[in-house]
Amino acid sequence: MMNNIAVIGSSGTIGGAFIRKLSELCPEAQISGFSRNKPSSTIANAKFYEIDYTNEESIANSAEIAAENAPLDLVIVATGILHNEAFMPEKSMKELSIAKFQEIILANTIFPALVAKHFLPKLAKDRRAVFAALSARVGSISDNQLGGWYSYRTSKAALNMIIKNLSIEMKMRYKQAIIVGLHPGTVDSRLSKPFQANVPAGKLFTADYAVAKMLEVINTLTPENSGKCYAWDGEEILA
């Protein structure tokens, strides 16, 4: 039973799908959604708040809001960046730049780490609780056969290491806590749009489908799974 849930990145394609599905599955739960801009939609048992991804005080305040009435049972970090109007993923080392690395790593690595810093201490101690951050299969070093995408791959590999570190630290005091990375597959969104032509048939998912599958994975996890990264189908993604 999940009574208190927080979703960070609630205005995004995947974050919004998490809010909708969790509201359906847990109608009695308190759901707090955090994003840079509050979505215009309303959901019966969800409240939405603004968060500044670049401001640690804002992240800390968001954790206080989420856990004001009860400890957290589930925290989902559904944020991330692959490209924007200024740059695309690198095809070769000639495209590396300080600016690109800084922006990608700030969004994909540093921000989730700071969310963990402030939200993990708000998890329930007396029962199972989950902290899950969106990672990616391309963050696996052992699985990398194609190269390219330097900054994005690096940011997700670093996130996976942070998840591992967090799991080790948390198990000393939060015996039932589970900290994992989740790979949603290729979701039909603005992030994947430029690359969808290369996606195999049947492997481009709607956000609702990917979220339903990831929640199925979350429901099967135990503390022994903490510190690992899992794909939407439950397969463990190795480092």
Q: Domain holding 100: CATH number?
A: 3.40.50.720
Number of domains, the chain: 1
34-40 long-range Cβ contacts below 8 angstroms, 24+ apart: 34/6, 34/7, 34/8, 34/9, 34/10, 34/62, 34/66, 35/8, 35/9, 35/10, 35/11, 36/11, 37/11, 38/11, 39/10, 39/11
Here the tokens at position 162 are 């942070």
Closest CA to 174 of 124, 219, 222: 124
Residue 86: predicted pLDDT: 86
Instruction: Give the torsion through C-alpha atoms of 165, 114, 223, 133, to 10 deg.
Output: -110
Residue 41: predicted pLDDT: 77
Tell whether the torsion through CA atoms of 177, 183, 188 and 194 is positive or negative: positive
pLDDT digits (tens), the chain, 239 positions: 799 999 999 999 999 999 999 999 999 999 999 999 987 778 989 999 999 999 999 999 999 999 999 999 999 999 999 998 889 999 999 999 999 999 999 999 999 999 999 999 999 999 999 999 999 999 999 999 999 999 999 999 999 999 999 999 999 999 999 999 999 999 988 777 777 767 777 779 999 999 999 999 999 999 999 999 999 999 999 98
Closest CA to 154 of 199, 204, 110, 214: 110
Q: Which domain holds residue 53?
A: 4-237
Q: Under a CB-based contact definition with an 8 Å cutoff, are residues 107 and 81 in contact?
A: yes
